[in-house]
Amino acid sequence: MKSTKWLNLIVGVFTLMFGFQQLVQAQQISLQDCYQATAKNYPLIQKDSLLRVITQQTDEQLKKNYWPILQASAQATYQSEVTTIQLPGIAPIDKDQYAMGLSLTQPLFDGGETSAQRDLNQIQGKVQLQQNQVDLYMIKERVSNLFFQVLLLKESLKIDLATQKQLNARLEAKEGALKFGAAQEADVNALKAEVLKAQQQITMIQNDQEAVLTQLSYFTGLTLKSEQQFSLPDDPLIPASYLNKRPENMLFDLNQQTIIQQQKVKDTQLLPKISLFGIANYGRPGYNFLNNNFRDYGLVGAKITWNISSFYRHQADKKINELQLSNVAVQQSVFELNQQAQFSVQQQNLKKLNELLSQDQEIIDLKTKVSTASEAKLDNGTETVSDYISDIQSEQQARLAKIFHQIQRYQTIEQLKLINGTQQ
C-alpha cells in the first residue's frame, strides 16, 4: 500500500515537471519581454547605482574644503653663519636650529569655488548617468536586431521543413514507381539530392538559430530555447513623424551645462581667499632669536590670498569654453540630422514593404498552382524531376519572401520607434 502511494507521488511529481516544461516551452516571448529582461539583467544597469555613490562620495569630499587644514612639520638646519651681537650677557646663537610643530588654517571665504565645484560634480554625475542610458539604448537596438533574426530563422525553418516533407513524399512515390519500372533512377537520385540539400539548409538554419538565441540569452538573462515561440504585436503603432526623444539629446544638454559650470568654477578663482591660521612650534630659536633655548612658541592671524595670475588666463579660458559649447552644438546638429535621415529612409522602407506585401500573397497563390500542377505532371510522368524541383523552389522562395517582408515590416516599425526614442 505504501509503495503504491510513493509510486503515485513520484508519478505526480514527474507529471508536474513535464507540465511545467511544456508551459515554459509554450510561453511566447515578445520583444517587450526581451527589453524588460535586458534592462534587469545587463551589467550596465548596475552602473547607475555605482555612479550615484561616486557622485555622493565626491560631494562629501568637496565639503571637506570647509574643514580646518591641519599640518605637522619638523625641520633641522645648520647655518654657515648667524647673526652675532657683541653685548655682555647675550649668548651667541647656535648654528644648528630645530623646529617642529602644527599649523592650522581655517578657510573663511574661498570665492564660492567649493560651491561651484559641488555643482559641477552633480552635473558631471548626471552626464555619466545619461551616458549609461545612451549605452543601454544602444543595447536595446542590438536586442531588437537579434529578436527579429530569431523570428526570420524560425519562419524560414518552417518553410524548409514543409518543403522537405513535400520532397520526401515525391521521393517515396518515385521510389515506388521505380520498383515497377515506371520511373527512372536518375529522377529518384535527383529527388534524393534535393532532400539532402533541404536537410543541409535546415541544419544551417537550426545552427544559426541556436547561435542567435545564445546571444539573445546573454543580453536578456533568459533561458531561450528553439522550442519557444516568439510573438509580434498584432497592430504595431507606426510613428508618423520624427519626434527627437533619443537619450543622446539630454546628454548633449548636460555636456553644455558641464562646460558652463566649468567656467563658473574658473570665475571663482578671480576672487580672493580669506582664512584664519595658527602655528604652534617647539624648537630653537623661536621668534625671539636671541633666546637660544628649546621652548614653545607660536602665532595666530588672518590672511588674504589672491591669485592675480588667474586674470591673465581668464579671457582665453572663456573663449575656449565658448568654442567647446559651439562644438557640442555642432555635434548635436549632426546627430539630429543623421537621425532625421535614418527616419526618412525607414519610412521609405516601410512604404516599399507595404507595397510588396500587397502582392506577395498573389504571387504565392500563383506559384502554388504551378507547383501543384507540376506535382501532378510528375506523377503522370509528363514532367521532368528538374522542372518539378524548380517549381517547388520557386514556391518556397515566394513564401520566404512574404515572411521576410512581414518580419522586415515589423522590424522597420520598431526601428522607427528606436530612432525616435519613443521605444521605452
Query: Mean pLDDT in the chain?
Result: 86
Alpha-carbon span 182 to 184, nearest angstrom: 7
Note the pLDDT of residue 186. 83
Q: What is the Cβ-side half-sphere exposure of residue 282, based on CA atoms within 13 angstroms? A: 2
Residue 85 lies in a domain: no
Quote the strand ranges of 80-177, DSSP E.
96-109
Q: Dihedral of the CA atoms 142, 145, 151, 154 (nearest 10)? A: -80
User: Which domain does 33 fall in, by range?
Assistant: 28-77+92-310
User: Residue type for 1, please?
Assistant: M
In the predicted model, is pLDDT for residue 8 greater than 60?
no
Nearest CA to 298 out of 106, 103, 108 is that of 103
pLDDT digit string (tens) for 163-187? 888 888 878 877 787 777 766 788 7
Residue 306 lies in a domain: yes
Question: What is the DSSP-derived secondary structure letter of residue 65?
Answer: G
Give bridge partners of residue 99 from the DSSP assignment: 75, 283
Nearest CA to 190 out of 161, 163, 167 is that of 167
Residue 225 lies in a domain: yes
More confident residue, 1 or 73: 73
Sign of the CA dihedral 394, 398, 404, 407?
negative
pLDDT digit string (tens) for 199-253? 999 999 999 999 999 999 999 999 999 889 898 876 677 887 788 889 999 999 9
Residue 353 lies in a domain: no
In the predicted model, is pLDDT for residue 349 greater than 90?
yes
Burial class of 180 by CB neighbour count within 10 A (0 to 12, 13 to 18, 19+): exposed
Where residue 139 sits, what CATH number does that domain have? 1.20.1600.10
Residue 404: its H or E element: helix 385-420
Residue 165 lies in a domain: yes
* Least confident window among 109-123, 223-237, 363-377: 223-237
Say which residues have a Cβ less than 8 Å from residue 171's Cβ, sequence separation at least 6. Answer: 188, 191, 192, 195
Residue 356 lies in a domain: no
Alpha-carbon span 294 to 189, nearest angstrom: 113
List the Cα angle 63/102/113 in 5-degree steps: 25
pLDDT digit string (tens) for 244-279? 889 999 999 999 999 999 999 999 999 999 999 999
Rg over CA atoms, the chain: 40
The number of domains in the chain is: 1
Residue 315 lies in a domain: no
pTM over 0.85, yes/no? no
Span 187-197, average pLDDT: 85
Q: Which residue in this structure is represented by grid cell 522602407?
A: 349
Residue 387 lies in a domain: no
Alpha-carbon span 413 to 237, nearest angstrom: 8
Note the pLDDT of residue 353. 92
